[in-house]
Amino acid sequence: MNCIIIDDEATARAIITQLCSNIPSLNILEEFPNALQAIKYLNQHEVDLIFLDIHMPDFTGFDFIQTLKNPPKIILTTSDAQFAIEAFEYDCIVDYLVKPIALQRFEKAIKKAESFSAAAATIPDDDKVETSSGNDLYVNIDRRLIKIDIPSIYLIEAKGDYIHVKTEDKNYTVHSTLKKIEEKLPKDIFLKIHRSYVINVQKIIDIEDNSVLIKKDVIPVSRSNRPELMKRLNLL
Amino acid sequence: MEHPNLTYINALSGGDDAFKSKLISIVKKEFPEEKAVYFKNFKAKNFKATAENVHKLKHKISILGLEESYKIAEDFEDRLKENNVSGYETFNAILQNITDYLETL
């Protein structure tokens, strides 16, 4: 994996470089004392992995991540354990290393990064959708397989080449089609009610004329799909 | 007060003396610079920036094996964020401890 190091502390950069030297699969391309220099570099070069310090003057590690359109895998390096929860809000963050970093812990983080690469590589680019197992659906987002609890999904909306998967807790945008995801979902729970929408019928709040209220979303029901929807309802 | 040591640096170098010397020279160069910025910000009563400096210095404290001092530094950093300077003298003693130790290397 081609890597870069971003840390304003020379000592930290030297330590990470040394840790990387123990792992043949890692190739350090560059190191940067601040995020802005790294952004310029990334505009012209592709990397697989970034070791990123959170605490940097002017531009923090999190600020840096938000500037990246397609961030590579990132391992955060910090003296603070307190940002761990925020860190895992970002799909690109593979691991979170608290300084001083021990070799054993570092190797574990690299294994995680490599397994993310392997998982992403097994899924063709044009078929990034889903692998379902039991109640779980795995979606590939930014080369990372994210697990979604199927019963928690209440709505799937098609938008161009993407689908928005809405769940009780979180929303996901996945490069896929409604047809592909429909094939992975249990047919007794999920129903296509419009060419752009699949809903979880168990989550319906009410139905009015040609629309369904599901959570806070009002979703149109097409004329052709309405009979099937009505069949699914336990009407009094 | 606990004594700094090279346990972490030795483990990291894995017998690579060239790396060990290089890292020690980086620490010897960088530590006084970070310390100077810390004192400057404290003198200017810019305590938020001082907290950032303490945060940065914590890494040096940890790689020199000063576990108790690290906890003191953490508490001091938190207090500085609230513009509370108590613990200044204690933290400065930690910095002096490191300064004295680095001079022996």
What per-residue confidence (pLDDT) applies to B32? 97
Average pLDDT over residues B70-76: 95
Q: Please report residues of B whose CB lies closer than 8 A to that of A15.
A: 12, 23, 63
Q: Please report residues of B whose CB lies closer than 8 A to that of A80.
A: 55
The domain total for chain B is 1
Question: Is pLDDT at A233 greater than 70 in this prediction?
Answer: yes
Residues A109 and A134 in one domain: no
Q: SS3 helix, strand, coil % of chain A, rounded to 5?
A: 30, 35, 35
CA distance A215 to chain B (A): 42
Under the banding of pLDDT at 50, 70 and 90, the label for residue A111 is very high
Under the banding of pLDDT at 50, 70 and 90, the label for residue A123 is very low
User: How many residue pairs from chains A and B have C-beta atoms closer than 8 A?
Assistant: 48
Average pLDDT over residues A211-220: 90
Does residue B2 sit within a domain?
no
Phi, psi torsion values for A123, nearest 5 degrees: -110, 120
- Which of B:26-45 have CB within 8 Å of A? 26-27, 29-30
Under the banding of pLDDT at 50, 70 and 90, the label for residue A125 is very low
**What DSSP designation does A24 have?**
T
Under the banding of pLDDT at 50, 70 and 90, the label for residue A127 is very low
| CATH code of the domain containing B83 | 1.20.120
Range of the domain at B67: 7-104
Average pLDDT over residues A92-117: 89
Under the banding of pLDDT at 50, 70 and 90, the label for residue A84 is low
| CATH code of the domain containing A227 | 2.40.50.1020
Tell me if residue A6 falls in helix, strand or coil. Answer: strand
Average pLDDT over residues A58-81: 85
What per-residue confidence (pLDDT) applies to A146? 81
Q: Tell which of A105, A121, A137 closes a domain.
A: A121
Q: How far apart are CA A117 and CA A3, in angstroms?
A: 13
Question: Is pLDDT at A144 greater than 80 in this prediction?
Answer: no
Q: Tell which of A121, A150, A182 closes a domain.
A: A121
Q: How far apart are CA A36 and CA A57, in angstroms?
A: 11
Query: What is the share, in percent, of chain A residues with pLDDT greater than 70?
Result: 89
What mean pLDDT value characterizes chain B? 95
Buried b vs exposed e over B26-44: b needs ≥16 C-beta within 10 Å? Answer: bbeebbeebbebbeebbee
Residue with tokens 């030795």: B10
Report residue B56 CA to chain centroid gap: 7
Q: Tell which of A121, A141, A163 closes a domain.
A: A121
Under the banding of pLDDT at 50, 70 and 90, the label for residue B82 is very high
CA distance B56 to chain A (A): 8
Residues A60 and A138 in one domain: no
What per-residue confidence (pLDDT) applies to A81? 72
Q: Which of A72, A27, A30 is closest to A47 using CA atoms?
A: A72
- Flag if A19 and B12 touch (Cβ within 8 Å): yes
Average pLDDT over residues B57-79: 95
Range of the domain at A189: 126-232
Does residue B54 sit within a domain?
yes
Question: Is pLDDT at A129 greater than 70 in this prediction?
Answer: no
Under the banding of pLDDT at 50, 70 and 90, the label for residue A133 is low
Residues A107 and A21 in one domain: yes
Does residue B12 sit within a domain?
yes
Question: Is pLDDT at B44 greater than 80 in this prediction?
Answer: yes
Does residue B98 sit within a domain?
yes
In A33-170, the DSSP E strands lie at 49-53, 73-78, 93-98, 130-133, 136-141, 144-149, 153-159, 162-167
What per-residue confidence (pLDDT) applies to A177? 87
Q: Please report residues of A whose CB lies closer than 8 A to that of B11.
A: 102-103
What per-residue confidence (pLDDT) applies to A134? 64
Under the banding of pLDDT at 50, 70 and 90, the label for residue A121 is very low
What mean pLDDT value characterizes chain A? 85
Which of the residue ranges A103-107, A108-112, A181-185 would you say has the lowest mean pLDDT? A181-185
- Flag if A10 and B62 touch (Cβ within 8 Å): no
Does residue B1 sit within a domain?
no
Average pLDDT over residues B60-66: 96
Task: Please name the residue of chain B whose CA is at the shortest distance from the CA of residue A12.
Answer: B59
Under the banding of pLDDT at 50, 70 and 90, the label for residue A126 is very low
Q: Tell me the residues of A at the B interface, defined by beta carbons under 8 Å apart.
A: 8-12, 14-15, 18-19, 22, 55, 57, 79-80, 99-100, 102-103
The domain total for chain A is 2
Residues A115 and A17 in one domain: yes
| CATH code of the domain containing A27 | 3.40.50.2300
